Amino acid sequence: MPLVHISLRAGKPEAYRQAIFDSLYRAMREALSVPEDDQFMTITEHDGANFRHGNAYGVYRSDDVVYIQITVFDTRTTEQKKALYKRAAELLGRNPGIRPENVFVNVLESAKENWSVGHGLAQFA
């Protein structure tokens, strides 16, 4: 049950943004065994004055950097997360063509009882 927030600079066409959704969803299906149609994702676009990046950690990013924050159940292994990072960079590189240096991923873990996906119920508690 990932919840995905994607941030990027404004100005990319709709097809580019849709390709980000599709590539990330595929990466999560493959690396995290996310169920079919489990797609809860947003994209937020920022103008240049409200979007900053650096080149820390030996990674030289461009203005095309994409910040991806994925909140998941706290049941994923380190190996699954590593597979997710790798697969996301591969797929985003293919479509829409984002350089691997520009794929910045942060995974947040949350206990199952912290989720309500509708009807005011704690479906996973």
Instruction: Please say if 2 is a catalytic residue.
Output: yes
List 2, 35, 96, 100, catalytic entry: 2
User: Which CATH number covers residue 89?
Assistant: 3.30.429.10
Give the separation between CA 53 and CA 68, rounded to whole angstroms. Answer: 13
pLDDT in tens, 95-105: 999 999 999 99
**Number of structural domains found in the chain:** 1
Q: Output the pLDDT for position 82.
A: 98
Q: What gap in Å lies between CA 27 and CA 93, rounded to an integer?
A: 12
Q: Is 27 exposed, middle or buried (0-12, 13-18, 19+ CB in 10 A)?
A: buried
Range of the domain at 12: 3-114
- Within a domain: residue 124? no
Q: What is the pTM of this model?
A: 0.95
